[in-house]
Amino acid sequence: MSRGIRLSRLFVVTVILTLALTLPVLAGAHTWRVNEVFSNAAGNIQFIELRECCGGNFETGVNGQMLTSGTRSYTFSGFSIPPTTANKHLLIATPDCAALPGFPTPNYIIPAGSVPFFNTGGDFVKYAVYDTLTFASVPTNGVHSLNAGLVVACNTPTNYAGTTGSINLGCSTLGDVDGSGGVDGGDIAGFVRVKTGTPIGGDNVTCAEYCTGTLAGDITAFVNDLL
């Protein structure tokens, strides 16, 4: 083999190796799922949480994809997603929701002109062509949200950095189930009714929702407020 051919082969190999090592990992976007939707009754306070479902670490190509409902659409833009993405969350919120004290900083803000983004009386929220959460209703009591699988639970908005919060728009003083302005013995009967699934008019259901994740935990928290 002549020196010239060897040099040109070396050059070709070098170019191929350089390309292989410098090409970015192809960014994906198809493993994000609609994990949680929340709304108040008026619909001005809404958030949507996506979750990377499957351990993909380079699902960074969300910008340019669309979030849609029956009547609205939003094209993701403005937040650059750094890898790694596995099992992380993306938080999309309306301006009024983003402004709530203690609410985790959303990654994306729905423009005011697209609020409410979804209809709490029946709608869908769809991420690109990859996932759709279709529902007949979304809770509007200010503390419960609708999760993947149509599970109703306390809201848990989580942003890409992993900051999680929980909002309770329906109750100003947790434990004050009778709305007297304080937590005392007058709240016990209502608390028990709510927790046994038999609230009556005047019981503030959201004030019995401590969101500890268990009945025992909520009871302990309520008793602590009573003492």
Interface with Ca ion, residue 156, by CB under 5 A? yes
Residues 27-66 vs Ca ion: string with x where CB under 5 A? ---------x------------x-----------------
Interface with Ca ion, residue 178, by CB under 5 A? yes
Specify the stretch interacting with Ca ion by CB under 5 A; choose among 59-67, 96-104, 113-121, 150-158. 150-158
Q: Which is nearer to Ca ion, 7 or 189 (by Cβ)?
A: 189
Q: Which is nearer to Ca ion, 36 or 131 (by Cβ)?
A: 36
Does the CA dihedral 175-105-145-141 come out positive or negative?
Answer: positive
The number of residues that bind Ca ion (CB under 5 A) is: 7
What is the rounded CA–CA span in Å between residue 212 and residue 221? 8
Specify the stretch interacting with Ca ion by CB under 5 A; choose among 116-124, 131-139, 174-182, 214-222. 174-182
Residues 186-215 that bind Ca ion (CB under 5 A): 187
Q: Helices (H) and strands (E) in the chain — how many of each? A: 4, 10
Interface with Ca ion, residue 131, by CB under 5 A? no
What is the rounded CA–CA span in Å between residue 84 and residue 87? 9
Tokens of 55: 């351990």
7, amino acid identity: L
The count of other CB atoms within 10 Å of the CB of residue 88 is 20
Residue 166 CA: distances (Å) to CA of 31, 90, 144 = 25, 15, 10
Q: Which is nearer to Ca ion, 187 or 203 (by Cβ)?
A: 187
Q: Which is nearer to Ca ion, 47 or 74 (by Cβ)?
A: 47
Helix (H) or strand (E) holding 97: helix 95-98
Q: Which of 123, 131, 176, 218 binds Ca ion (CB under 5 A)?
A: 176
Q: Which is nearer to Ca ion, 89 or 126 (by Cβ)?
A: 89
The count of other CB atoms within 10 Å of the CB of residue 67 is 25
Residues that bind Ca ion (CB under 5 A): 36, 49, 156, 176, 178, 180, 187
